[in-house]
């Protein structure tokens, strides 16, 4: 299952941080970003060469803007690539992404510490 898909991804994208067993992540959100790309690829939203080219563009852009290129920001570029491809492929517009981002922000704001944060329709109101 996912092991095979992940192996295909790491073979196609040599820059993915990894150890002997596969990709490594510095934080849970990085694993989420990685997994989303895998799912979208399996759905045929993009090919790995297409992904690699978009990611390379993203990294170039970030470096031109002063990204330190230490590897710590790798998944930030990965996330930006996801957002860009999702918008370009007509899956979700930039506006939609912003709307959901703001809704999650609202959800976090109204959720007391220690409680799970859940997105509710009212979070889209403001």
Q: Which is nearer to another protein, 2 or 63 (CB)?
A: 2
96 binds another protein (CB under 8 A): yes
81 binds another protein (CB under 8 A): no
Q: For another protein, which stretch binds (CB under 8 A), given 46-54, 57-65, 96-104?
A: 96-104
Q: Is 17 exposed, middle or buried (0-12, 13-18, 19+ CB in 10 A)?
A: middle
- What mask, x for binding another protein by CB under 8 A, covers residues 10 to 39? ---------x-xxxxxxxxx-xxxxxx-xx
Q: Please check whether residue 36 is in contact with residue 75, taking contact to mean a CB–CB distance below 8 angstroms.
A: no
The phi, psi pair for 22, rounded to 5°, reads 145, -165
In the complex, the smallest distance separating the C-beta of residue 81 from another protein, rounded to whole angstroms, is 11
């Amino acid at each position: 299952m996912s092991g095979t898909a992940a192996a295909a991804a790491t073979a196609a994208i040599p820059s993915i941080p990894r150890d002997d067993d596969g990709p490594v992540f510095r934080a849970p959100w990085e694993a989420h970003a990685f997994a989303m790309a895998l799912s979208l690829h399996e759905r045929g939203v993009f090919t790995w060469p297409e992904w690699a080219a978009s990611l390379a563009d993203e990294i170039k852009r970030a470096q031109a803007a002063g990204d330190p290129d230490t590897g710590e920001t790798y998944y930030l570029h990965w996330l930006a690539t996801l957002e860009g491809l999702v918008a370009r492929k007509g899956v979700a517009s930039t506006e939609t992404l912003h709307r959901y981002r703001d809704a999650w922000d609202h959800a976090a704001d109204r959720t007391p510490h220690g409680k799970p944060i859940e997105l509710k329709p009212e979070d889209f109101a403001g």
